[in-house]
Chain A
Amino acid sequence: MKVVNLLAVVEAEKCKGCRTCERVCPVLAIKVVNRKAVVDAARCRGCAACEQRCPDYAITMAKRDEPVVVAVSTEGLDYAQVVDLCRRARLHPEQIVCYCTATRAEEVAAAILRGARSPEEVSFMTGARTGCKVECIQPILRLLEAAGVTPAPPKGGWQWYGRTPTVWEIPEGVKQKYTGRGFYFDEDIKLLNRVIEAPLQGGSDS
């Protein structure tokens, strides 16, 4: 869940149409049209990626008059399916996957079960990956993959490139090679497995 209280605003006279904003927007809310960036206010999740990377300082973040709450509820879904999807992605359903918005794995799973087919759609629906824009791409990709979805990165974009290895996939040879250097691969696998199997606490999403 995220309360979207900011909106990207383009100063047209400063914009040179370089498309950097387009390439970094995690929800595809900004596009260059006729050599000027244009924001789709209804899609913008206020993450400021465009504002932070615009080489011409042509974008500012304005406070919205009416904040928009974006959230995907698990209500109405078969919660067993939510749990199953999270665990196939090797995540606990209540595990936080986006530290900025405190989005839990179950909400991303719910978005996927409700039809999200890409990280961009997940971010648009849940607000995840619209805070720091950095740390939560992998659990989102893992959950999509666990649901049998193979998304393609936005064409020409820099939003994301691919899923990367998890600790369960580290080759045994690598573990052996670096034993004694403090990486504790197998011990961390045990820890993460315990988390995945931990009981649900339940309670409200807030």
Chain B
Amino acid sequence: MRPPIPPIPPRKSQYGIDPSLVKKRVCELPGMTSVLLKDLFPDLPEVIYPGGEGVAAVRRATEEALRKVDMSRIKPEHSVNILASHHGFTLLGGEPYAEMLKTIKDVVEARTGCKNIRLRAGVGLRFRETEEYIKRFGLDEYFHGKAAGVAPIDEGIPIETEIGTLYGIKKVYDADWIIHAHNSDVREVHFHRQVDRAVKPFGMSYARIETRSTYHQNLGPRAANFTARAIFDSPFVQSKFAFACFLMVAPNGIMGVDADNDLYALNDRVTYLGCRYYGKMMTLFGEIDECIVALDFPCPVVYVFSAGVIYANFAGANTDLYDLDNPLPGYTWYTEAFYGKRGRPLLDDVPPLNPAIKMCVHNYAWTGYPSAFFSEHIPTVVVGWEQAELFNRDPQNLNYMKHAVVAETTEAAMEFAYKVTGTRKVLIFDGAIGGINLSEPLAEFLLKKAPAVSERVENELLPKWLRQRGVDLSHLKQ
């Protein structure tokens, strides 16, 4: 068996405990190993990052992708907002995304003569998160003091759409042109279901609370994905949209960079790649019959990564998250909303959280996303009183520790989990790049299951998933 892959290190942030308090990573414990994703799915793409060239490969790929983009409408006297989102900075340490943003600025400046180029970086529910990334990656200096984090409670503007008025963040749109700089990583597939994934930030990280609440409360679990399209298609946004540039991500790393003046063309490519590569990982994880989950990554509970899959997705992996005929995964906010006062779903056909998860060891994960639903329904052990106290001070997580217990050390938490659950299968969400850190019994299990999963996705599931989204594979190949 292979040794574990070095996990993403703890990161200093107001949303997490001090990195010095993370004394032990779960992958360092006895019995842990790793599996390379290419050993599970040999058809996963070759990646440019990680690689020998480092982020220079990302710069070159961005320059190459932007060559085919028409920038002729941007004039030297204009202003341009490059729109970014927090999520990109959580991918493979964040450097690749930061490098893509810097390269877009350089290329636009060189091609158009425009100097007034700003960075506007949206957030999820941690309103200062991108401020932290802007500092960490030197983006403020790079954009000559014109880099700003924007939040959904900042001043807004109405946007007239074909379904009515929605609201965007004013600072996102305060330039002549906007460039949508995002990534294809699947992340919240439980919400977006790989429908208009490439468009989503227009209804989320670039949007005001009214719009985000529309997505999560007004439209339903699948129709919600129309929110972003409604905004993007509005005459207002169309009048400012210049082009999109995406870091193309697979579970095993950065495949390359894609750019297009036509966001929907790019969206179809993202849909195909997302369904194919992440669909296989997700389907494989859905095969796991029992395990202990270990959270060990600098992100909120739901967003910790393993093989490009986040904990929130694994918590719903008992259903096919890509099959749109399933209205609700085991976890989305709609699902959570539909639990009544006795703690049971209001409808009998609401699926439970993934019953394969026997216990969650929360070794290191951040606050800043409402996560009490998880500790309420999955036995959870939090490592360290400092971490427990941090959650007790988070307005979004005042109920998290009501349902969790505290262990003083990582070792004690894992011993407790082994004893109580009886399983030795451990899946670690620590952002290991190119592979998965896990226990030996689970490694053997996944290696055995992967070939059949790959075949089923290629031959049976992928054609159905693409059909449900109206993506024509023959058109894509052209």
Complex-state Cα separation, A127 to B397, whole angstroms:
13
Once the chains bind, are B338 and A164 in contact (CB under 8 Å)? no
Near A by CB (< 8 A), chain B positions 168-220 give 193, 195-196, 208-214, 216-220
A204 to B341, CA, bound (A): 7
Interface residues of B (CB under 8 A from A): 125, 127-128, 151-156, 158, 162-167, 193, 195-196, 208-214, 216-223, 225-226, 229, 324, 327-328, 333, 336-342, 344, 346-347, 369-370, 372-373, 392-393, 395-399, 468-470
Query: A75 on the interface (CB 8 Å rule)?
Result: no
Knowing A6-B395, A195-B338, the reply to whether A95 touches B346 (Cβ < 8 A) is yes
User: B residues within 8 A CB of A5?
Assistant: 392-393, 398
Query: CA–CA, A44 to B461, complex, Å?
Result: 51
Give min CB distance, B61 to chain A, whole Å. Answer: 29
Whether A178 touches B229, Cβ cut-off 8 Å, given contacts A6-B395, A96-B336, A101-B398, is: yes
- Give A93 to B370 CA distance when docked, in angstroms: 21
Query: With the chains together, A6 CA to B151 CA distance in Å?
Result: 21
| Contact between A201 and B340, CB atoms less than 8 A apart | yes
**A-B pairs, 3 with minimum CB distance:** A188-B220, A201-B340, A138-B213
Is A94 an interface residue, CB under 8 A from the partner?
Answer: yes
B125 neighbours in A (Cβ, 8 Å): 132, 134
List the A side residues contacting B214 at CB < 8 Å: 138, 164-165
Number of A-B contacts (CB under 8 A): 204
Q: A161-B158, A166-B219, A201-B344 are in contact. Are A137 and B213 (CB under 8 A)?
A: yes
| Closest A residue by C-beta to B392 | A5
**Interface of A with B (CB < 8 Å)?**
2-3, 5-6, 23-24, 46-49, 52-53, 61, 63, 92, 94-97, 99-102, 104, 130-139, 142, 158-167, 169-171, 174, 178, 180-185, 187-189, 191-192, 194-195, 198-205
Query: Is B153 a contact partner of A6 (Cβ separation < 8 A)?
Result: no
Q: Are B155 and A164 in contact (CB under 8 A)?
A: no
- Alpha-carbon distance A192/B327, docked complex (angstroms): 10
User: A131 vs B336: C-alpha distance in the bound complex, in angstroms?
Assistant: 16
> Chain B nearest CB: distance from A187 CB in Å?
7
15 sampled A-B residue pairs with Cβ under 8 A: A5-B392, A95-B337, A99-B337, A102-B399, A132-B125, A134-B153, A134-B212, A138-B213, A158-B153, A164-B164, A178-B226, A182-B222, A184-B324, A189-B223, A198-B347
A99 near B333 (CB under 8 angstroms)?
yes
Which residues of chain B are near A104, meaning CB under 8 Å? 341
> Using Cβ atoms and an 8 Å threshold, which residues of chain A touch B370?
99-100, 131-132
User: Given A134-B209, A165-B164, are A48 and B395 neighbors across the interface (CB < 8 Å)?
Assistant: yes
> Least Cβ distance of A87 to chain B in Å?
13
Q: A171-B162, A194-B347, A195-B347 known; A182 and B193 CB under 8 Å?
A: yes
B392–A191 contact, CB under 8 A?
Answer: no
Question: Are A52 and B127 neighbours in the complex by a CB distance under 8 Å?
Answer: yes
Give the shortest distance, in Å, between A102 (CB) and chain B (any CB).
6
Whether the pair A131, B158 counts as a contact (CB closer than 8 A) is: no
Bound Cα distance from A100 to B369, whole angstroms: 8
Q: Which of A63, A135, A187 contacts B333 (CB 8 A)?
A: A135
How far does the alpha carbon of A48 sit from the alpha carbon of B153 in the complex, in Å? 12
- Known contacts being A53-B151, A95-B338, A161-B156, is A188 close to B221, with CB within 8 Å? yes
